[in-house]
A and B are shown apart, each in its own frame.
Chain A
Amino acid sequence: MSWETVIGLETHVQLSTKTKLFSRASTAFGASPNTNVNLIDCGLPGVLPSVNKEAFYKAIRFGMAIGAHINQTSIFDRKNYFYADLPKGYQITQMDLPIVLGGSIEILNENSSKTINITRAHLEEDAGKSIHDEFEGFSAIDLNRAGTPLLEIVSEPEISSAKEAVAYMKAMHQLVTYLDVSDGNMAQGSLRCDANVSIRKSGDSELGIRTEIKNINSFKFIEKAINFEIKRQIKVLESGEKVTQETRLYDSAKDETRPMRSKEFANDYRYFPEPDLLPVVISNEEMQKIKDEFPELPNEKETRYQNEYGLSSYDAQIIASSKSMADFFESSLTGVKNYSLLANWLIGEISAYLNKELIEIHESKLSSENIAMLINRIDDQTISGKIGKSIFEEMCINGSSPDQIIESKGLKQITDDDSIEKVVDEVIENNSEQVQGFKSGKEKLFGFFVGQVMKKTQGKANPQTVNKILKEKLAK
């Protein structure tokens, strides 16, 4: 029998506001526990929320980018449930009137593209964090994350494989980082998803019973968790049993999903309009302002890079595909004359380094000023491309500027004819045997002479000049 997979994703995007959705405490990641917490985030008796404007603007920008309808009047609701890291005993979210309705996202999976429709996207506050394994007998609660603005984006169940789910999340990542809606940092939980997975017989029109895998936070785990779940469900169905509708957790260490114990009781969230917040209205002027300030999207950048900087369509596409790469490219442009050399370096050396280290460019020690300087030094022949690579390696380690490295290590390329001529003369004098050989027709020996000159100049001699002078001298 053949089976068909149906997947819907609920993506939680942490919005990159400076402060929380309902309070003015910082949202900075990595602060010491319970320090980014104010009276409101702690849910103390008598406190009241107030709405962060910027969170709305970011949500609207996302909505506009996916061609959704924006509800200019939206209301907040309370979702009531008890959990240790949920300070008020309810989460403030949007139920009936979400800020974003509809829209769609293009995904690219193995060179074919597909449109995934978006049901809705709403604003809500994040909960705090529970740490279960650090203190004997206790779970520890850190409320730093409590109240951080999230945009929950709900897709239609139109995703049909784990690979497509990954492609969807990659498209989502590109979009939210491009829109400056989120930093998209998955390791820090800024982009995570719940996957609703069900299986049905190929051709069936009705959906199978689904399970929800909670809180998956890497592309790799999305693929693994969903694939595990698909296999598990097929096994259940093929043994003639029924899939249980439940919430499951993906355990990456064991590469399996298992039911979540804390979610075993069916809940009744008792949604009702948040009485502490009046309806939030976005004026037409505010909508216009968001449109006017709309950031450039990847395909727009791609075209512009080709037109303005003469990049090949391949180079332009690769650089524009990542927001951080494109940002870096654009900020390195000032002062650089050779744009394609810069592009080559970004796609080649720099990307290779970042991939090896598994970091984003802004997390590395490389600054756009220094990369621009490096490109210029290669371009103006102060150094050779080869020396450039060794300088780059050092820049990666300590972040120093190419000029400093060139200066301190004396790596400046020797380009004046007189100095090179002196070395060439020495080489010819000390290797008369080879000179004889060359002159008698062993032309391959030319490389030997170049090598000797480079060795004596520690590679700093300009290769073109060396070639030119050697040819002249050996012809005599």
Chain B
Amino acid sequence: MSIQFKSITELNELLDNKAISVLELTQESIQLAKKYSELNCFVTLNEENSSNRASAIDRDQKNTSLLSGIPLAQKDLFCTEGLRTTCSSKILSNFIPPYTATVVEKLEDAGSITIGKTNMDEFAMGSSNETSFFGSVHNPWKKGFVPGGSSGGSAAAVAAGIVPAATGTDTGGSIRQPAAHCGITGLKPTYGRISRWGMIAFASSLDQAGPLARSAEDCAILLNSMSGYDSKDTTSLNSDVPNFLENINQSIKGKKIGIIKEFDLSDLDTEVQKRFDESKKAYENLGAEFIEVSLPNISASVPTYYSIAPAECSSNLSRYDGVRFGHRAENTDDLNDLYIKSRSEGFGDEVKRRILIGTYALSAGYYDAYYKKAQQVRRLIKNDFDQVFKSIDLLMTPTSPYTAFKFESKGTQNPVELYLEDLFTISSNLAGLPAISIPHGQVNSLPVGLQLIGNFLREDELLNAAHVFQQNSDFHHAKPNLENFK
């Protein structure tokens, strides 16, 4: 019996009925990862450790949690003690962390098994997974096409049915956009909902971990375990974590969904527009009401983000200096030379570009005009959200303006072209709000994602709205043809 494409609930049932052992399940998941190695979604497989862990769980027979014995993949920027963690960068290509990220610890405490670390854009900087030192990841739906990024490996592994779910991180859309391009469900929680301890930083005030899975229900299962205050991350939220499965089935009749006036969808591909209109109709049939709302500053999201994120990144990435860990260049003349050569050899072009932009934006004379200005605009954007959430429950947008594109077809001449991929996703990072992407059909045989943005700490509403949609549609059950990747 194949476990490929099975949901967490289905796998849990198989384990409960002893139709399969945890060890069998784990090994099969690893076999699938190897079988589809051409997808290139894994940087490192955790074969031996995960088998040992699986056997131990089989012995203990303690299947108390829905995640017990479930194989998961972790984005390769969550530190895993003793297991190489690279951020898909040459500079960390040999880094063995001496500690484990809180997120991974929590998921493993719930009984899940980390089968491997997934490929990503280098240091999570990118929207196509093409900036990885370990090579591009193929979109399972179409060879030679990007899976989106930066959590491209996680999205592809879930879309290919290798694991039922994976972790990702989202700084400007890095969970939602690859989820959309790969036809799966991805949730970026409220900033602070999940601890950032052990999650290698890109932009501290924007980064947030979240789940990618084949359904909203499976995302809820992961979120239940991932969430919660962590004294090691003083920017994590000390507030109650609800059971996200509890109200996931309830009717959404009467829910008010906002459509953002400032996003002119008529610029989009007509097919993408069409999918959007169909989903709007589907929600209306489920009892939701649509209201056009205005967020006057939202169009400033992209420039705001591209000022703040690189600034924070330029500082966060200063620790990669070749001294205490990571790549060190050989034959250097002095300390400065060691820094310059180690960093220049260790980082890829996109990372360098962002470090340089950030360095510039923070440098004397430009700080007020770029960094501070952007943080002021950020407040205006957040104020806009606060305002509209007084009268609505959710916002709805496409996740991405386009479907997945061909390798090396975007951003090579002009990096800003690729930055515009994040148009719809970035604002929720700036405001710290939760947002989800769910598959809602295809255009030219490639999946298209629908984004719902929720109010502060209202992941429950997002999951509810997504789940009810999925109970009434089949888009999330669509499976790619993986014949080409064997």
Contacts and interface: CB of A to CB of B under 8 A. Distances in A.
Given A45-B85, A272-B315, A51 B201 contact: no
A43 B359 CA distance: 20
Nearest to A37: B324
Interface string A28-53: 00000000000100111111111100
Contacts of A268: 363-364
Interface string A270-286: 11100111100000000
A274 to B, nearest CB: 8
B319 interface: yes
A331 to B, nearest CB: 38
B233 A48 contact: yes
B204 A275 contact: yes
Interface in A62-104: 78, 80, 82, 84, 87-90
Contacts of A277: 234-235
Given A46-B79, A84-B335, A275 B312 contact: yes
B407 interface: no
A271 B317 CA distance: 15
A171 interface: no
Contacts of A42: 324
Contacts of A87: 319, 323-324
A89 B318 CA distance: 5
Contact of B362 (A43, A44, A272): A272
Interface stretch (B192-200, B284-292, B439-447): B192-200
Contacts of B318: 80, 82, 88-90
A297 interface: no
A448 to B, nearest CB: 78
Interface in B328-366: 335-336, 339, 359, 362-364
A150 to B, nearest CB: 20
A396 interface: no
Given A45-B87, A48-B234, A89-B318, A141 B197 contact: no
A271 B359 CA distance: 11
B205 interface: yes
A80 B200 contact: no
Interface stretch (B5-13, B97-105, B450-458): B97-105
B205 A275 contact: yes
B231 A50 contact: yes
- A39, A45, A78, A89: most-surrounded residue (chain B CB, <10 A): A45
Contact size range, B: 35 or more
A89 B99 CA distance: 21
B362 A50 contact: no
A324 B352 CA distance: 54
Nearest to B339: A82
Contact of B234 (A43, A82, A89, A278): A278
A46 B201 contact: yes
A89 B78 CA distance: 21
Interface string A139-171: 101000000000000000000000000000000
B371 A272 contact: yes
A82 B235 contact: no
Interface in A241-277: 268, 270-272, 275-277
A141 B335 CA distance: 12
Contacts of B371: 272
Contacts of A48: 196-197, 232-235
A266 to B, nearest CB: 10
B183 to A, nearest CB: 30
Nearest to B372: A272
- A42, A43, A47: most-surrounded residue (chain B CB, <10 A): A47
A277 to B, nearest CB: 7
B359 A141 contact: no
B263 interface: no
B235 A46 contact: no
A47 B95 CA distance: 15
Given A46-B78, A278-B234, 19 more contacts: A44-B99, A45-B92, A45-B95, A45-B97, A46-B79, A46-B101, A46-B200, A47-B197, A48-B234, A50-B232, A78-B315, A80-B318, A82-B336, A87-B319, A87-B323, A270-B359, A271-B362, A275-B205, A276-B235
14 contacts: A43-B324, A44-B99, A46-B198, A46-B200, A47-B198, A48-B233, A50-B231, A50-B232, A82-B318, A88-B319, A89-B317, A141-B324, A272-B315, A278-B235
Interface of B: 77-79, 85, 87, 92, 95, 97-99, 101, 196-201, 203-205, 231-235, 311-312, 314-315, 317-321, 323-325, 335-336, 339, 359, 362-364, 367, 371
